[in-house]
Chain A
Amino acid sequence: MSWFQKILPPKIKRRQEAARKTVPEGLWSKCPNCEAVLYAADLDNNAHVCPQCGHHNRLGARKRLELLLDEGERKEIGGNVLPIDSLKFKDSRKYTERIAEAGKQTGESDALVVMQGHVLGVPLVAAAFEFRYMGGSMGSVVGERFVRGIDAAIKGKQPFVCISASGGARMQEGLLSLMQMAKTSAALTQLAAHRLPFVSVLTDPTMGGVSASFAMLGDLIIAEPNALIGFAGPRVIEQTVREKLPEGFQRAEFLLEHGAIDMIVDRREMRKVIARGVNMLMRKAPLQA
């Protein structure tokens, strides 16, 4: 206790203590990788990349789009497409309850948010997964919003970008979810027919049915550092092959080494790399520095 606090009357002292308790949690945060204690505002100003070790934190869909797209005019696409429980799916809980809970937790109505906007002045359509919404799982709504995003890109003669973060297909919609793999991949054939680029950005984690469909079909496939990317989950593989998985297995660097992706890009450079790349693919003038 400082000399100043000692001379304060008790009433004021108490109030100050109360005030300290209401300091919002999350003002400070600990890096999950290097455990450095970071000031949240610094982290936010650094695209949620740890300034100490470069660890890329997971991000929600809207935050992603906010970081990717230029400020100003943005138009959300397919936000009016909403999930239904067509199978009357029930495990330990009902699918409808899980939908409601995920909605409350994330403020989203499903696991994909699509927006039309600009990146460094280049007009495009961008989609981003909300991993906290049922593990970013792909069901009917994700598939439909993805396709509507592509339709908008074709209409506006613009590139399409998708930032993935997903555990795969959504079990609660059964085979309908599996078919979203076919639907999203098929939609890309139309984008290609119009010679419009598809940029697939893989973030931690991109697995299962998302990885095994559109995410691996990018003209450019970009991964964030250290992102877990693969078809089968590491645990399933370990149980199947009964051996220890190699160090760095299914990480972005592993995929780059095995020729599965074009590049690994630091999140803070992402806007530039995407805008520059699609501009060349569309034979447009270079970006103004």
Chain B
Amino acid sequence: MKTTYLDFEQPIAELEAKIEELSEVQGDASLDISDEIERLRKKGVTLTKEIYAKLNAWQISQVARHPQRPYTLDYIQSLTTDFQELHGDRAFADDQAIVGGLARFEGEPVMIIGHQKGRDTKEKLLRNFGMPRPEGYRKALRLMRMAEKFRMPVLTFIDTPGAYPGIGAEERGQSEAIARNLYVMAELKTPVICTVIGEGGSGGALAIGVGDVVMMLQYATYSVISPEGCASILWKSADKAPQAAETLGITAPRLKALGLVDRVVSEPLGGAHRQAEAMAENLRKALSDALREVKERPLNALLNDRYARLMGYGKFKETRGG
């Protein structure tokens, strides 16, 4: 598959085009230009390193939403075996914006739940662009309860622009569905490991994001509101999204510094989509470490820590008395 380049990657795109051109010439020419191609390749790597070394928050959010970025089902395929998808909330519908099911991770049974975006137009519509409706969250809840019952860890993968703002979603209680998940995940009696793999869009992301370990891929974002949404409310102009992205503090390193994220999982050069296998391998190691940590702890201690961690969220000052 041909790589899609983002605006700020244009110099890399041009170089890659040149390399491709030369490679074609190489095929039928008698003179050897492999040295030249090799030189350009190295230049391409240096250039990518340079560009990616100083990405701003807005550029990172473009990478997080890259159309070729690996989605939940891609990671399920590369990281697990025996995946059996489980459908439906047993009440209303099967929301395809959230996928879930049983799988084996490093041989051990786990419950996997994640947002799922689509690749082509048809799948995008089917997946509703990764924006769940209440039945999606209720399916997730059902699977979490099942994991608790059968004592298996829950792995969640977060990648959504947000919960769907639609008429039917409101009629069926979007708020309650999200709220219920927050409540249940706070006390779910089995380990929960959450990873933001792409876009962590507000309440729609958090609804499967409460757990014992919260990880983020290096170029994933996690935010209370999309930069565009924030810009149109506070600046009255969506054009200010880059400024909003910067000030909202949506990137993995910044959120780790704030203590809201435990671990940042490195991405390959140029982002997860450039080398999906390498990305999956990094994620496997991180998940494996996290699982080992939580499994070593007695369940009571784990739940106490989870609660303490939730109560620790927030930054404020305190005066005497009151």
Contacts and interface: CB of A to CB of B under 8 A. Distances in A.
Contacts of B275: none
Contacts of B186: 182, 185-186, 189
Given A171-B233, A216-B176, A182 B322 contact: no
A179 B174 contact: no
Interface residues of B, number: 58
Which interface class (under 10, 10 to 19, 20 to 34, 35 or more) fits A? 35 or more
A82 B182 contact: no
B179 A86 contact: no
Contacts of A82: 316-319
Contact of A81 (B171, B248, B307, B318): B318
A48 B72 CA distance: 51
A169 to B, nearest CB: 5
Query: Which of B163, B165, B243 gathers the greatest number of chain A CB atoms within 10 Å?
Result: B165
Contact of A182 (B172, B247, B255, B310): B310
Nearest to B244: A91
Interface string B42-58: 00000000000000000
Given A212-B174, A245-B167, A175 B318 contact: no
Counting chain A CB atoms within 10 Å of each CB, which of B167, B180, B209 scores highest? Answer: B167
A181 B185 CA distance: 12
Interface stretch (A116-124, A235-243, A277-285): A235-243
Nearest to A186: B186
B315 A216 contact: no
A241 B166 CA distance: 6
B314 A144 contact: yes
B202 interface: yes
Contacts of A183: 310-311, 313-314
A231 B163 contact: yes
B203 A178 contact: yes
B165 A236 contact: yes
Interface stretch (A51-59, A72-80, A263-271): A72-80
Given A91-B247, A174-B248, A213-B179, A189 B187 contact: yes
B92 interface: no
Contacts of B185: 182
A233 B224 CA distance: 15
A178 B247 contact: no
A212 B180 CA distance: 8
A80 B314 CA distance: 15
A90 B249 CA distance: 11
Interface string A65-102: 00000000000111111111011111110000000000
A143 B311 CA distance: 9
A9 interface: no
A208 B203 contact: yes
Nearest to A200: B179
A86 B206 contact: no
18 contacts: A83-B316, A84-B315, A91-B247, A169-B225, A171-B248, A173-B224, A178-B223, A179-B206, A179-B260, A182-B185, A212-B175, A213-B178, A215-B175, A215-B179, A216-B176, A233-B165, A237-B170, A241-B165
Given A176-B260, A185-B183, 7 more contacts: A82-B318, A175-B249, A186-B186, A187-B311, A188-B183, A212-B175, A233-B165
